[in-house]
Amino acid sequence: MTRESALRQSIQRQQSGAPARRISDMVAWCAIGLLSLFIPPNCKPQSTYPLLNTAASILALTNTEADQKHPAAIDGVITSSTEYGLFVQDRTAGIWVDWKNPRQFLPGDRVLVEGTSTAGLFSPDFAARRVTVIGRLPLPTPRRPNMKRLLAGDYNDQYVVITGLVRSVALRPNVSPPQRVWLKLLVDGDFIYATLPLEAYGAAEHLYGARVRIEAPASCTKNLNRQITAAMLSIPDIHHVTIVRPPPRDLFDEPETSIGGLMHRLGLTHPEILRLQVTAALEAALELQAEGFALDLTLLVPLASSEEEIRTLAQRVREIAADVFFRRSQTIGYQLSALIESPRAAICAAEIARHVDAIAFGMRA
């Protein structure tokens, strides 16, 4: 056989085997594709975002950024737990951790929390994938908050200490057992609520009239518009409540509060609360109007007592309304009314009426 014949036979053998090789190549690629469907999730490529390793770095995200599920892992201590999650604080800040079984942990547990960032109703939260107890730690040194900032949500999820007078103790129905007991506290002229587990009720019911110091994480209740409706403390157990001054033996020994003090104008002393109330009312009305409802909206200022007071309040309400309409690019008609409920206000009703659209006379039941 000549060299040319041998070369020709070799080429023919390669050509005759090409279809078989193409088929085998296709089978191999299909197998690789099917195999990729069964790769465990933890073996697939992870997020391209850098790992966040402190509570402060998660809280620094906007809610839009937090909703992108940035990977995170923090080493901190549990300050309290509820039916829905945990308060965890590391060396930088406190943060709310969404976790399916929070009651298995105790305050003081040192935990490694792994998961992702998530958008909260007010600020970013931590959606945990794994929570591991790695020891015990003393609770962090509590911060002493300014009450106005506390009520505005500036200390949300942070471990704080406050001292106040217990004005009521009650069991709240339809509330989870870890938050069934509610205390109403008077602190620097403002009211704030605190919750305790159901098993603490026997000790808590004797706190009425006592001056107490409470160490607990602060939190806020919010509406669906991400607006704070109230600030509160989540007390893990009765041992976080210290009696500074016991309640009086006779509750009638309590110092009297003047009528003027009871009628103190919250809208004047705390304009941020007035802004919150007016904004919430107007935004709700705008949403109903957008759905086709016809509204006859009245914003009522109760306990009007003087011309100067109503002039200031009316100006603030109209400024807030103008700001809401500008931000929403929508408007709605409303009437600003003052409620006359005292003899003093009735005497100067004509002067009060100059600054509002209408006045009403009445008494609260």
33 plus 108 within the same structural domain: no
284 plus 347 within the same structural domain: yes
> Which of the listed residues 253, 270, 301 is the one where a domain comes to its end?
253
Type of residue at 307:
E
Q: How many CB atoms lie within 10 A of CB 130?
A: 11
249: in domain: yes
Q: How many CB atoms lie within 10 A of CB 217?
A: 30
Number of domains in the chain: 4
265 plus 354 within the same structural domain: yes
49: in domain: no
313: in domain: yes
> Which of the listed residues 220, 253, 286 is the one where a domain comes to its end?
253
pLDDT tens, position by position, for the chain (365 residues)? 544 454 345 445 544 544 444 544 444 444 444 444 444 444 444 568 899 999 999 999 998 999 999 999 999 999 998 888 999 999 999 999 998 776 678 999 999 999 999 988 778 999 999 999 999 999 999 999 988 888 888 899 999 999 999 988 988 877 788 888 999 898 887 888 999 999 999 999 899 889 999 999 998 876 666 677 778 899 999 999 999 999 887 655 555 544 444 444 666 777 777 888 888 899 999 999 988 988 889 998 887 778 888 888 888 899 888 888 887 888 999 999 988 888 878 888 889 999 999 888 875 44
H helices of the chain, where?
Answer: 3-37, 55-59, 63-66, 147-151, 201-204, 259-262, 266-269, 271-290, 307-328, 343-347, 349-353
Range of the domain at 84: 55-136
For residue 160, give both structure tokens: 């704080």
> Tell me, what CATH number does 82's domain have?
2.40.50.140
Tokens 């957008």, residue located: 290
Dihedral (C-alpha) 94, 99, 102, 108: value to the nearest 10 degrees?
-30
Full-model pTM: 0.59
